[in-house]
């Protein structure tokens, strides 16, 4: 199949501006890069933080998107990692130096020179994109769908957050029940955990969604759970939830902040941190996390609930995410670019 010489992409030209459709020259893979024909790209809350100027120094102009599922359209120089047509996923981690002190101690997620897909590298809101081959995840057959796209960040970052809590934790609170939570609850249930789902006040639809997915309890984030929790994972970008989660966890409880940006955390009495409770954040992910999660995802079927949008309607999808108008995850489809949105439940 002959390649087009352009790629249509939704482009951010500056913080605070809506994305605009552009026809860009087809990107040419550099050494150890591949060209990918994007099938689907999930929408992550991080995009809202980039659009709103809450994350500093994005590449500009920028093609956002870091939950990419696609096929290799140009495997690059001979002897590379992939062949034409291979199915791959691309996540937030786009490049690391391999030489800094973090990379050398197995913490490439903290690399001093790390580059991130759809933030400091162009991403997947585009028909085609290039990626460093070492940071593409080979995907099994059957992952060539919109349903697989949210696994690439909501799944992976959610899993890194989950992996940070002690394996002995059974009663786990999840604060913010969106794309990451609806995947993570399936992993937690598979491992015999009990999930307590906290949503925005009055968001009965998300609470029902959580219960349908097997939550032990669901309520709004101001409510006290029926029992003390062993651990809490916060996905909502709301700093006051750190305080609430500390109040909800039992002695030695762990609170993990899974997002890249959060509003300020209000001051709180030391007594809710005392008794060896702890608060930590998760930053980015390592390729090892990605492989571990994708291995787990192949051991039992993870079902994602997605609402699909054609690429051209990315702005609408982002606003639906911002205003909590969807359950699960929003995913952009490259083909057709302009068709009507077709909701599908996976």
Q: Which residue has the tokens 């689907």?
A: 40
CB 229 within 8 A of CB 206: no
Return the number of the residue (160 or 194) whose C-beta is nearest Zn ion.
Answer: 160
Min dist. Cβ of residue 180 to Zn ion (A): 8
Q: Where are the alpha helices (DSSP H) in 221-333?
A: 240-248, 287-299, 314-322
Return the number of the residue (116 or 196) whose C-beta is nearest Zn ion.
Answer: 116
Min dist. Cβ of residue 260 to Zn ion (A): 8
Return the number of the residue (44 or 297) whose C-beta is nearest Zn ion.
Answer: 44
Min dist. Cβ of residue 149 to Zn ion (A): 11
Strands 68-74 and 87-90: antiparallel
Min dist. Cβ of residue 235 to Zn ion (A): 11
- Is the torsion defined by CA of 90, 94, 95, 100 positive or negative? negative
Return the number of the residue (118 or 253) whose C-beta is nearest Zn ion.
Answer: 118
Strands 68-74 and 33-42: antiparallel
Give me the residues that bind Zn ion (CB under 5 A), please: 44, 46, 96-97, 100, 103, 111, 153
Min dist. Cβ of residue 124 to Zn ion (A): 11
Q: Which residue has the tokens 């994005």?
A: 58
Return the number of the residue (44 or 184) whose C-beta is nearest Zn ion.
Answer: 44
CB 21 within 8 A of CB 315: no
Radius of gyration of the chain (CA): 20
Return the number of the residue (9 or 44) whose C-beta is nearest Zn ion.
Answer: 44
Residue with the CB atom nearest Zn ion in the bound state: 44
Q: Where are the alpha helices (DSSP H) in the chain?
A: 45-51, 101-104, 154-163, 179-190, 204-212, 240-248, 287-299, 314-322
CB 150 within 8 A of CB 293: no
Polymer length of the chain: 346
Min dist. Cβ of residue 18 to Zn ion (A): 20
Distance, CA of 83 to CA of 80 (rounded, Å): 8
CB 232 within 8 A of CB 255: yes
Min dist. Cβ of residue 148 to Zn ion (A): 15
Return the number of the residue (40 or 153) whose C-beta is nearest Zn ion.
Answer: 153
Return the number of the residue (234 or 246) whose C-beta is nearest Zn ion.
Answer: 234
Min dist. Cβ of residue 6 to Zn ion (A): 27
In sequence order, what are the beta bridge partners of 11? 20
CB 182 within 8 A of CB 209: yes
């Amino acid at each position: 199949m002959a390649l087009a010489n352009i790629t249509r992409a939704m482009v951010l030209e500056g913080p605070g501006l809506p994305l605009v459709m552009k026809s860009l020259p087809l990107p040419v893979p550099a050494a150890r890069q591949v060209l990918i024909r994007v099938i689907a790209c999930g929408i992550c809350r991080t995009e809202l933080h980039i659009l709103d100027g809450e994350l500093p120094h994005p590449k500009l102009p920028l093609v956002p998107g870091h939950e990419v599922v696609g096929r290799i359209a140009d495997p690059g120089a001979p002897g590379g990692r992939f062949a034409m047509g291979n199915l791959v996923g691309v996540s937030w981690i786009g490049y690391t130096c391999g030489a800094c002190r973090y990379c050398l101690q197995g913490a490439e997620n903290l690399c001093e020179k790390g580059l991130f897909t759809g933030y400091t590298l162009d991403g997947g809101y585009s028909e085609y994109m290039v990626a460093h081959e070492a940071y593409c995840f080979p995907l099994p057959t059957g992952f060539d769908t919109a349903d697989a796209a949210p696994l690439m960040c909501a799944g992976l970052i959610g899993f890194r957050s989950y992996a940070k809590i002690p394996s002995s934790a059974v009663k786990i609170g999840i604060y913010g029940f969106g794309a990451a939570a609806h995947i993570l609850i399936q992993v937690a249930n598979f491992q015999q955990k009990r999930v307590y789902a906290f949503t925005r006040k009055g968001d009965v639809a998300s609470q029902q969604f959580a219960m349908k997915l097997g939550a032990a309890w669901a309520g709004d984030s101001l409510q006290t759970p029926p029992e003390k929790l062993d651990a809490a994972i916060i996905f909502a970008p709301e700093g006051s939830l750190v305080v609430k989660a500390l109040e909800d966890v039992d002695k030695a409880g762990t609170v993990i902040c899974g997002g890249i940006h959060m509003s300020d955390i209000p001051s709180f009495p030391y007594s809710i941190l005392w008794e060896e409770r702890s608060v930590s954040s998760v930053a980015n992910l390592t390729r090892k996390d990605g492989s571990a999660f994708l291995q787990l995802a192949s051991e039992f079927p993870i079902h994602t609930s997605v609402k699909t949008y054609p690429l051209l309607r990315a702005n609408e999808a982002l606003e639906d995410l911002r205003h909590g108008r969807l359950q699960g995850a929003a995913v952009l489809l490259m083909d057709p670019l302009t068709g009507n949105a077709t909701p599908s439940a996976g």
